[in-house]
Each structure stands twice: as C-alpha cells, then as structure tokens.
Amino acid sequence: MELLDAEQVSEVLAELEWALEEGELVKIVRRRDFADALAFVNEVGAQAELAAHHPDIEIRWDTVTLRLSTHSLGGITDTDIALARSIDQLG
C-alpha cells in the first residue's frame, strides 16, 4: 500500500462524493433523523469491517461526518478510495 500523490487524489475526487480536507477524504451525510443517521453508520460499519479499514465517524443528530485516511502512512491510499466508493454506493 502506497500513498497517493495530490494529482492522483484530485483525479479520483472527481468521481467521488467526497471532499479533501487537511489530508483526509471527508463526506458529510444528512439523514431524516438520529435513528436514520445511526442506521447509516451501521451500514458504513459493515462496509468498513469487510474492507478491514475504518473511517473516523462523527454523528450529530441527523448528520454523519466520515473521514478517511490511512493513519499508519499519514495520507490517502487506494484502500481509502475503495472504501469511499463502497460508502458512496450506500446512498
């Protein structure tokens, strides 16, 4: 696993529903209410377990913020991109 450079990350971001903030992929998702937000977090958790790669997750009532990076390498890798794509499929 290798870090992606800034150009590679920019190219991939054009295909994803994520933003780049402070070296991390970030996605903010709003749901109907807390229960729906929590259900979404559980779906994300299932995808993360399958990938053996886990986002940082913050939940505030109806809003879920996801942050992805490979902490051990200090940046974004293909593993982060693959999980971001998988999460985008959840809706």
Per residue in 29-65, pLDDT tens? 999 999 999 999 999 999 999 999 999 999 999 999 9
Give the Cβ contact number of residue 79 at 10 Å.
16
Q: How much is the pLDDT for 80?
A: 97
Domains and CATH numbers, the chain: 6-88 (3.30.1360.20)
The phi and psi torsions of 46 (rounded to 5 degrees) equal -65, -45
The answer to whether residues 78 and 4 touch, using CB atoms and an 8 Å cutoff, is yes
* Predicted pLDDT at 1: 78
Average predicted confidence (pLDDT) for the chain: 95
Q: How far is CA 72 from the centre of its chain?
A: 16
- 53: DSSP letter: -
